[in-house]
Structure 1
Amino acid sequence: MQRNIWFMAISIIVVIILLNNTAYYFLTKRSLEAAMNHEMQAVAKQIELSVEQSRLGAEKFQEQIGRELRSVAVAAQYALDPDVEKVTNEELRELSKKLAVEHITLLKRTEDNIIMYKSSDPNEQLGKGTKTWDPWYIAFNQLFDDKNVSIKWLGQTLPNFWSGPYEVASSDPSSIYKWGYYHDGSTNYIIDPYVSYTMLADYENLTGVNSMIEKSLASSESLLEVTVINPSTFSKGPFETVNDDGELQEHILQKPIMYGTYEYKLSKDDANVAKAYKSGKIVTVNEHISGQHVMKMFIPVFTEDKGINIVDENGNPINSYVLTLVSDYQIIQNQLDSQFINIGLIIIVVTGLSLAIAAIAMNYYRQSREKAVQVAQQTYVDEINSMFQAIRAQRHDFLNHVQTIHSLAELNKSKELIAYTKELTGEIRLMNDIINIGNPAIAALIRSKISQAESYRIEFACTFNGLNRLEMGIKTLDMNRMLGNLIDNAFDEVLSYVEQRREVDLVAHQADGHLEFKISNTCKDASTVSESPLFEAGFSTKDDDHQGLGLYIVKSIVDKYKGTIQVYATEMERITFVIRIPL
Structure 2
Amino acid sequence: MQRNVWLMAISVIAALILTNNTVYYFLTKKTLEDGHKQEMLRLAKQIELSVEQTRKGAEFYEQQIGRELRTASIAAQYALDPDIEKVTSDQLQELSEKLDIAHISLLKRTEDDIVLYQSSDPTQLGASTKAWKPWHEIFQQLFKQEAVSSNWLGQQMTNFWSGPFESSSTEKKKIYKWGYYYDGTTNYIIDPYVDFKSSQETYMQIAGVERLLMDLVDKDESLLEIAVFNPRTFPDGIQSTDREGEPKEHVVQRSLLFGTYGIKSGIDVSSVQQAYHTNGIVTNTDKVDGRHIYKMFIPVSMSERDRSAVDEYGNPLNNYVLSIISDYGIIQEKLNKQFLNLGLIISLLTLASLAIAIIAMRYVKQFRDKAVAVTQETYAEEINSLFHSIRAQRHDFINHVQTIHSLAELNKHKELVAYTKELTGEIKVMNDIINIGNPAIAALIRSKISQAEGHRINFQCRFNGLRLQGMGGTTLDINRILGNLIDNAFDEVLKYDEEQRNVLLIGNQTDQILEFMITNECHRAKAQVAKPLFEAGYSTKQNQHQGLGLAIVKGIVDRYKGEVNVIAEGQNQLTFIIRLPL
Q: TM-score, normalised by structure 2?
A: 0.77
Give, in angstroms, the shift of residue 309 of structure 1.
Answer: 4.0
Correspondence for 1:263: 262
User: Which of structures 1 and 2 has the bigger CA Rg?
Assistant: 1
In structure 1, what residue type is equivalent to 2:72?
Answer: E
Correspondence for 1:282: 280
Correspondence for 1:251: 250
Q: SS in structure 2 opposite 1:172?
A: coil
Correspondence for 1:171: 170
In structure 2, what residue type is equivalent to 1:481?
Answer: R
Match runs of 1:377-456 below 5 Å: 377-384=376-383, 434=430, 437-438=433-434, 441-442=440-441, 444-456=443-455
Give, in angstroms, the shift of residue 510 of structure 1.
Answer: 7.0
Mapped to 2, the partners of 1:465 and 1:110 lie a distance apart of: 131
| Contact 2:529 2:566 (8 Å CA) reproduced | yes
Instruction: Write out per-residue CA displacement over residues 248-282 of structure 1, whole angstroms, 9 at most, x where no aligned residue.
Output: 44322222222222233455544544444455x33
Instruction: Write out per-residue CA displacement over residues 101-130 of structure 1, whole angstroms, 9 at most, x where no aligned residue.
Output: 43444444444444333444343444x443
Mapped to 1, the partners of 2:513 and 2:147 lie a distance apart of: 116
Mapped to 2, the partners of 1:12 and 1:212 lie a distance apart of: 52
Give, in angstroms, the shift of residue 33 of structure 1.
Answer: 1.8
Q: 1:351 to 1:194 in 2, by over 3 A?
A: same
Correspondence for 2:294: 294
Mapped to 1, the partners of 2:512 and 2:159 lie a distance apart of: 121
Match runs of 1:98-497 below 5 Å: 98-126=98-126, 128-141=127-140, 146=145, 150=148, 152=150, 154-156=153-155, 162-182=161-181, 188-200=187-199, 201-234=201-234, 237-243=236-242, 245-279=244-278, 281-290=279-288, 291=290, 292-304=292-304, 308-384=307-383, 434=430, 437-438=433-434, 441-442=440-441, 444-462=443-461, 470=469, 474-497=473-496
| Contact 1:177 1:195 (8 Å CA) reproduced | yes
Give, in angstroms, the shift of residue 219 of structure 1.
Answer: 1.5
Q: Find 1:60's aligned residue among 61, 64, 76.
A: 64
| Contact 2:165 2:308 (8 Å CA) reproduced | no
| Contact 1:530 1:569 (8 Å CA) reproduced | yes
Q: 1:297 to 1:103 in 2, by over 3 A?
A: closer
| Contact 2:105 2:118 (8 Å CA) reproduced | yes
Mapped to 1, the partners of 2:99 and 2:315 lie a distance apart of: 34
Mapped to 1, the partners of 2:91 and 2:214 lie a distance apart of: 45
Q: Which ranges in structure 2 are unaligned for 5 or more consecutive residues?
A: none
Q: TM-score, normalised by structure 1?
A: 0.77
In structure 2, what residue type is equivalent to 1:203?
Answer: Y
| Contact 1:567 1:575 (8 Å CA) reproduced | yes
| Contact 2:48 2:300 (8 Å CA) reproduced | no
Identity of aligned residues (%): 45
| Contact 2:467 2:509 (8 Å CA) reproduced | no
Q: 1:149 to 1:389 in 2, by over 3 A?
A: closer
Mapped to 1, the partners of 2:111 and 2:240 lie a distance apart of: 26
Q: Does 1:35 align with 2:34?
A: no
| Contact 1:434 1:443 (8 Å CA) reproduced | no
Instruction: Write out per-residue CA displacement over residues 47-81 of structure 1, whole angstroms, 9 at most, x where no aligned residue.
Output: 2222222222223234324423543x14641xxx5
Instruction: Write out per-residue CA displacement over residues 297-328 of structure 1, whole angstroms, 9 at most, x where no aligned residue.
Output: 13222233x66443333434344433332233
Q: 1:456 to 1:302 in 2, by over 3 A?
A: same
In structure 2, what residue type is equivalent to 1:287?
Answer: T
Mapped to 2, the partners of 1:581 and 1:82 lie a distance apart of: 121
| Contact 1:299 1:322 (8 Å CA) reproduced | yes
Give, in angstroms, the shift of residue 489 of structure 1.
Answer: 2.5
| Contact 1:40 1:325 (8 Å CA) reproduced | yes
| Contact 1:149 1:161 (8 Å CA) reproduced | no
Mapped to 2, the partners of 1:187 and 1:482 lie a distance apart of: 122
Q: SS in structure 2 opposite 1:317?
A: coil
Mapped to 2, the partners of 1:225 and 1:578 lie a distance apart of: 80
Q: 1:199 to 1:149 in 2, by over 3 A?
A: farther
Q: 1:523 to 1:139 in 2, by over 3 A?
A: closer
| Contact 1:162 1:181 (8 Å CA) reproduced | yes
| Contact 1:308 1:319 (8 Å CA) reproduced | no
| Contact 2:154 2:307 (8 Å CA) reproduced | no
Mapped to 2, the partners of 1:452 and 1:142 lie a distance apart of: 126
Q: Does 546-555 or 438-447 show the bigger shift? A: 438-447
| Contact 1:69 1:194 (8 Å CA) reproduced | no
Mapped to 1, the partners of 2:232 and 2:513 lie a distance apart of: 91
In structure 2, what residue type is equivalent to 1:53?
Answer: G
Give, in angstroms, the shift of residue 220 of structure 1.
Answer: 2.0
Mapped to 2, the partners of 1:513 and 1:145 lie a distance apart of: 111
Mapped to 1, the partners of 2:270 and 2:23 lie a distance apart of: 38
Instruction: Write out per-residue CA displacement over residues 500-555 of structure 1, whole angstroms, 9 at most, x where no aligned residue.
Output: 33333445677879766554433344555567654444444444523333344445
Mapped to 2, the partners of 1:230 and 1:177 lie a distance apart of: 21
| Contact 2:275 2:282 (8 Å CA) reproduced | no
In structure 2, what residue type is equivalent to 1:195?
Answer: V
Mapped to 1, the partners of 2:517 and 2:184 lie a distance apart of: 133
Q: Does 1:26 align with 2:25?
A: no
Give, in angstroms, the shift of residue 27 of structure 1.
Answer: 3.9
Give, in angstroms, the shift of residue 373 of structure 1.
Answer: 2.3
Correspondence for 1:545: 544
| Contact 2:306 2:316 (8 Å CA) reproduced | no
Q: Find 2:54's aligned residue among 24, 46, 50.
A: 50
Q: SS in structure 2 opposite 1:311?
A: coil
Alignment length, in residue pairs?
Answer: 561
Mapped to 2, the partners of 1:220 and 1:344 lie a distance apart of: 29
Mapped to 2, the partners of 1:181 and 1:511 lie a distance apart of: 113
In structure 2, what residue type is equivalent to 1:49?
Answer: Q
In structure 1, what residue type is equivalent to 2:206?
Answer: L
Mapped to 1, the partners of 2:509 and 2:154 lie a distance apart of: 113
Q: 1:546 to 1:181 in 2, by over 3 A?
A: closer
Match runs of 1:495-514 below 5 Å: 495-506=494-505
Give, in angstroms, the shift of residue 169 of structure 1.
Answer: 2.8
| Contact 1:29 1:336 (8 Å CA) reproduced | no
Q: 1:165 to 1:497 in 2, by over 3 A?
A: closer
Mapped to 1, the partners of 2:102 and 2:394 lie a distance apart of: 144
Q: Does 567-576 or 258-267 show the bigger shift? A: 567-576
Q: Does 544-553 or 221-230 show the bigger shift? A: 544-553
Give, in angstroms, the shift of residue 218 of structure 1.
Answer: 0.9
Instruction: Write out per-residue CA displacement over residues 345-367 of structure 1, whole angstroms, 9 at most, x where no aligned residue.
Output: 44444444344333333332332
In structure 2, what residue type is equivalent to 1:302?
Answer: M
Q: SS in structure 2 opposite 1:303?
A: coil
| Contact 2:252 2:309 (8 Å CA) reproduced | yes
